[in-house]
Structure 1
């Protein structure tokens, strides 16, 4: 698996504090699988999928899950543990590792692998079998206040996912009381102060085995049939 050579960190933005405002809060609740064992310098673990590898079919096949989760996601975990061995970061939880290396050119490889572990775990939880449909009332009200309608939000998420040149992510985030859609490239995460609610992976390995170059078909099917509104509401708090 070939990893990106550089993290796509937006210039002029203090990205080093993003976890304190957003990701750390979510990791402590929704993504409990990210926690590492209590013993010092124990390896980062591959979090289990929240469903069977065939549970998202036919939108995302078991074959795609096998490669995406079993090869790519696992590869980030294996690479990160190799990169951390013997370092002063080796006994830190994942979120603190990402925060410690964000924006540091000499730690790009660690950032890429650590952030991709976090992003992928968040992505798996952003999907669920028989998802889509109407969001819970509390979330729907927030969506309507920010976008006008659920359909308008889905259109904006699709536009962000399709407009991301190359590899990256489309995110629904909370910015204070308002919801927004943002996109990031490669392993990058939303900027400081934005709380991720759900994400769509638009790296080619997320869809190419099932959809080839038809990213739009993948994104639209995911939004209609798999998106996990309950996860977004839980993250909204």
Structure 2
């Protein structure tokens, strides 16, 4: 299975003014594409070539050590960015579901945004800030580089 760069589910300029078209094009077409290309080069001709990306990332300890760092970085970059493109939306309407849960836990959406932004901006180096469910409760966590929770 060759890994592929997913198409964006919206136009490159759909997230303006929050993320501009040039940034989206560069991040998707260059950064993300590089992760996919390097991941494919790493796993080509091995049994990993036939595994799902999620399975590979979840079981890094089973990846041969000679490939582990590349799979961790490039597979993680591909996985994280693929999720990132899917969860971003040009529709900024606040309603239902997770919004209600956020307000129940943080009081207001602004309080949540402040805590999320604080964790993101105080993360040393590169990495990701995530909203996750841990033991049935929402939690904001950070991971370094291309790691994920």
Normalising by structure 1, what TM-score?
0.58
The SS at the match of 1:174 is strand
- Rounded Cα–Cα distance in structure 1 between residues aligned with 2:56 and 2:29: 23
Which residue in 1 is equivalent to 2:83? 122
Residues 157 and 138 of structure 1: CA distance in aligned 2, closer, same or farther (over 3 Å): same
The CA deviation string for residues 173-231 of structure 1, in whole angstroms up to 9 with x for no partner, is 111321110111101111xxxxxxxxxxxxxxxxxxxxxxxxxxxxxxxxxxxxxxxxx
Q: Once the 2 structures are TM-superposed, how far is the Cα of residue 99 of structure 1 from its aligned partner?
A: 2.0
Which residue in 2 is equivalent to 1:173? 132
- Rounded Cα–Cα distance in structure 2 between residues aligned with 1:140 and 1:46: 30
Q: Once the 2 structures are TM-superposed, how far is the Cα of residue 63 of structure 1 from its aligned partner?
A: 1.1
Which residue in 2 is equivalent to 1:16? none
* 8 Å CA contact retained: 1:146, 1:180: no
- Rounded Cα–Cα distance in structure 2 between residues aligned with 1:140 and 1:88: 41
Q: Once the 2 structures are TM-superposed, how far is the Cα of residue 130 of structure 1 from its aligned partner?
A: 3.8
The SS at the match of 1:129 is coil
Question: Which deviates the most, 144-153 or 103-112?
Answer: 103-112
Q: 1:54 aligns with which of 8, 13, 31?
A: 13
- Rounded Cα–Cα distance in structure 2 between residues aligned with 1:130 and 1:153: 19
Q: Once the 2 structures are TM-superposed, how far is the Cα of residue 101 of structure 1 from its aligned partner?
A: 1.9
Number of corresponding residues: 147
Which residue in 2 is equivalent to 1:160? 119
* 8 Å CA contact retained: 1:102, 1:111: no
Task: State the superposition RMSD in angstroms.
Answer: 1.7
Q: Once the 2 structures are TM-superposed, how far is the Cα of residue 140 of structure 1 from its aligned partner?
A: 2.9
Unaligned runs of 5+ in 2: none
Unaligned runs of 5+ in 1: 1-41, 191-237
Which residue in 1 is equivalent to 2:72? 111
- Rounded Cα–Cα distance in structure 2 between residues aligned with 1:124 and 1:177: 25
The SS at the match of 2:17 is coil
Normalising by structure 2, what TM-score?
0.90
Instruction: Map 1:186-205; keep pairs closer than 5 Å.
Output: 186-190=145-149
Residues 100 and 137 of structure 1: CA distance in aligned 2, closer, same or farther (over 3 Å): closer
- Rounded Cα–Cα distance in structure 2 between residues aligned with 1:102 and 1:119: 19
Q: Once the 2 structures are TM-superposed, how far is the Cα of residue 103 of structure 1 from its aligned partner?
A: 8.5
> Using CA pairs below 8 Å that are at least 6 residues apart, which structure has the higher relative contact order?
1
**1:184 equivalent in alignment to 2:143:** yes
The SS at the match of 2:50 is coil
Which structure 1 residue ranges, 4+ long, deviate > 4 Å from structure 2?
Answer: 102-105
